[in-house]
Amino acid sequence: MTTPRISCENISKKYLRQWIFRDLSYTFESGKSYAITGNNGSGKSTLIKILSGAILPTNGKISYLKEDGDSIHEDKVYEQIVYAAPYFDLIEEFTLLEALEFHFSFKPVVENINLKELPEKMLLDGAQNKAIKHFSSGMKQRLKLGLAFYSDVPVMFLDEPCSNLDETGINWYKNEILKIHNQRLIIVSSNQKFEYEFVDFVLNVMDYK
Ligand SMILES: Nc1ncnc2c1ncn2[C@@H]1O[C@H](COP(=O)(O)OP(=O)(O)OP(=O)(O)O)[C@@H](O)[C@H]1O
């Protein structure tokens, strides 16, 4: 698995007439973990969306670079990433097993894990044939995070990862992320320290106003 780094050159984002952030130049190194912090409405989700390629910056350039310095073509970037966020919906009509089969038809599952083991790993044992529309908000969040954790890809974006999780879910999140954080580039958007205690670097979006 190649582990890319993400280079941002002078990126700025404007919505309507308001600059959300300006002139952000930063390199997210492969295998390191980062938190993006800042007040409510400061632009954390906007930045993480831009880094993933979900939306474009108003100005500036984002590149995914391989170890040899070559850039990964923008059409191929999606193969490198998983992204769990409140604004990305699950397909509600699927059962849990269908959702797992669907997701893992696009992304490889991490080595040595069988698809059948995943519900238990996500604390969703017993819900295999339940439709996602009947999941609680915490179950949906564990599924979103689980799809990210157990996909064998080098870049992981997490926006507000512990929203809707109870204490058991938060402990599960903390344990699972500690197992993988040295193998991936992880970028977490959060205002809650316990969600990003494991990171190597903190980037405050307020510093780019
Ligand atoms: N599509 C959009 N059109 C116009 N303005 C937008 C759009 N998306 C976000 N904004 C604005 O950009 C600013 C940053 O929003 P963003 O969601 O990135 O903040 P955030 O730091 O993630 O906030 P929170 O901590 O509340 O989740 C806000 O003022 C928001 O209203």
Mean pLDDT of the chain: 95
Which ligand 1 atom is at minimum distance from the Cα of 13? 12
pLDDT of 116-156, one tens digit each?
A: 999 999 999 999 999 999 999 999 999 999 999 999 999 99
Angle 176-181-186 from CA coordinates, rounded to 5°: 110
Q: What is the ipTM of this complex?
A: 0.98
Ligand 1 geometric centre to CA of 150 (Å): 29
Q: What is the domain count for the chain?
A: 1
The rounded percent of the chain whose pLDDT value lies above 70 is 99
For the CA atoms of 34, 155, 43, 162, the dihedral, rounded to the nearest 10 degrees, stands at -80
Q: Which domain covers residue 26, as residue numbers?
A: 5-208
Ligand 1 geometric centre to CA of 140 (Å): 23
SS3 64: strand
Query: Which CATH number belongs to the domain containing residue 42 in this structure?
Result: 3.40.50.300
Q: Is the CB of 37 under 6 A from ligand 1?
A: no
If you search the block for the tokens 């017993």, which residue do you land on? 126
Query: What is the phi/psi pair of residue 50, to 5°?
Result: -65, -45
